[in-house]
Amino acid sequence: MSLLLTGNLLAQRGDGSLYSSYGIGLINNDNVGHAARLGGTGVAVQSPYFLNLVNPASNIMIFGGYNFMVDADVKYQMMNIATSDENIDVNRTNLSHVAFWLRLSKKSAINFGITPLSSVDNSFMETTYFVGSDDPYSKLTKNYGDISKVYINYAYALHPRLSLGIRPYYAFGIINNNNSYALEGDGEGAIDDFQLNIKNSYSGAGVDLGLQYVAYQNKDKKLLMGLVYQAPAYMVETISEEIQLSGSDTLLFDSSGDKEKIDFYQTIKAGLSYQNKSWIFAADYNYKLFPDSWEDYVAAHQVNLGIEYVPISSGYRFPQKLSYALGGYYDTGNYQFQHQAVNRWGLTAGIGIPIQGFTRLNLSYQFEKQGSTSLLSRETTHAIVLNINLADVWFQKVGYK
């Protein structure tokens, strides 16, 4: 529970993706937990033994014996950032989400947790000028921070084939923009070194809605359809700004408490999956739509594919209970650089390892490429994700015959 009280899940200091310099940064897309090794799919997935965080309606279909479940991801990333001038490697480890699930009745279940909504982590240098002055300054910019959301998810089965879900959440976070200026020449009467620090604090609320429908079912075989709508959140931005001399506490300018309501994006997701006792075949389509005030953003389309195989989910021998997953995705890109969308694509693979009872450890590998050196940068990411899925049965009596 102490993890839920932590202000930021991601501790970053300007050494990540250059594309996170846009707006609120890189959008999470709910690619955590079960979806992380299944190519990001989950809109129409009903796993009996894993928690699906993509569709709020899916949680009702977890195997009835699970009374309680805890799901968390720890991610290690190695990113290579290549520009026209340099090539660097960045390593990072972070806790990407924590979620708790509890069944209320045969027809209803809840889960609650915390997960990143977006993250910012970048730094770059450039030469800049101020209006009315011919003196050049070297400018080092570091942007870092994130916006997280704390949510509670309620799912209810209206019918054996139809379930609905609602996930209200509270969003909060801080994004820092730190700029260090150093005079490059001997400008007479100019300030040699100073810092401009801007802190953007965000808070607000939103809701995700989900639906899943079993279109066809024959014994253990079923075809599912799903829909998810992530409504625009109501968000308020508070801006604080200060300018001070480098190496001094002298403030040249200080402004704080300016509040402004900001428009937020919305997402529509549709999914289809075929499942039986051993297999899951899933495909999702995502459409992200951004308000006109987000000038550097464009509507984006994303396609996700995923396959999972469990030889015998209820087997007693170790190899029978292992699960294997493969996936991939392609995103047309919601950031624009020089009027061109920055696309990204990735591949995923994972294995689920039973530990004791219903508890599993899941290890997955993620590969992603984003952008190109002809735009801002070409970023290649290798990630290892350790998913811990703790599940147990409560109030069960042992019977003897």
DSSP symbols for 42-82: -TT---SSS---S-TTGGGGS-TT--EEEEEEEEEEEEEEE
pLDDT at site 393: 65
pLDDT (mean) for 155-167:
94
| Res. 3 pLDDT band, cuts 50 70 90 | very low
pLDDT at site 188: 63
Nearest to 98 by CA among 144, 171, 149, 49: 149
Instruction: Tell me the whole-structure pTM to 2 decimals.
Output: 0.88
Say which range, 117-121, 153-157, 167-171, 314-318, has the weakest mean pLDDT: 314-318
| Res. 303 pLDDT band, cuts 50 70 90 | very high
Q: What is the rounded CA–CA span in Å between residue 258 and residue 205?
A: 19
- Tell whether the model's pLDDT for residue 400 goes beyond 90: no
Question: How far out from the chain centre does Cα 282 lie?
Answer: 20
Q: Token digits for 19?
A: 């594309």
| Res. 39 pLDDT band, cuts 50 70 90 | very high
CB atoms within 10 A of CB 179: 17
pLDDT (mean) for 1-20:
51
Contacts of 159 (CB under 8 A, 6+ apart): none
| Res. 64 pLDDT band, cuts 50 70 90 | low
Query: How much helix, strand and coil, in percent to the nearest 5, is found in the chain?
Result: 5, 60, 35
pLDDT tens column, 117-159? 999 998 888 888 887 777 888 888 899 999 999 999 999 999 9
Say which range, 66-70, 316-320, 387-391, has the weakest mean pLDDT: 316-320
Q: What is the rounded CA–CA span in Å between residue 295 and residue 337?
A: 11
| Res. 354 pLDDT band, cuts 50 70 90 | confident
Q: Token digits for 220?
A: 């253990």
- Tell whether the model's pLDDT for residue 4 goes beyond 50: no
The alpha carbon torsion through 62, 66, 70, 76 (nearest 10 deg) reads: -60
- Tell whether the model's pLDDT for residue 210 goes beyond 70: yes
Q: What is the rounded CA–CA span in Å between residue 4 and residue 313?
A: 31
Contacts of 16 (CB under 8 A, 6+ apart): 79, 90, 92, 119, 121, 122
pLDDT tens column, 249-301? 778 888 887 899 998 999 999 999 999 988 999 999 999 999 988 888 999 99
pLDDT at site 176: 93
Reduce the DSSP state of residue 339 to 3 states and report it. Answer: coil
- Tell whether the model's pLDDT for residue 357 goes beyond 90: no
Say which range, 70-79, 165-174, 189-198, 285-294, has the weakest mean pLDDT: 189-198
> Look-up: residue for tokens 């609602």?
166
pLDDT (mean) for 315-335:
84
Reduce the DSSP state of residue 316 to 3 states and report it. Answer: coil
Q: What is the rounded CA–CA span in Å between residue 341 and residue 371?
A: 9
- Tell whether the model's pLDDT for residue 356 goes beyond 80: no
| Res. 95 pLDDT band, cuts 50 70 90 | confident
| Res. 10 pLDDT band, cuts 50 70 90 | very low
Contacts of 385 (CB under 8 A, 6+ apart): 36, 37, 73, 74, 75, 76, 96, 350, 362, 363, 364, 365, 366
User: What is the average pLDDT value for the chain, to the nearest integer?
Assistant: 86
| Res. 1 pLDDT band, cuts 50 70 90 | very low
Give one word for 44, left, alpha or beta, with left for phi > 0 and alpha for psi -120 to 50. Answer: alpha
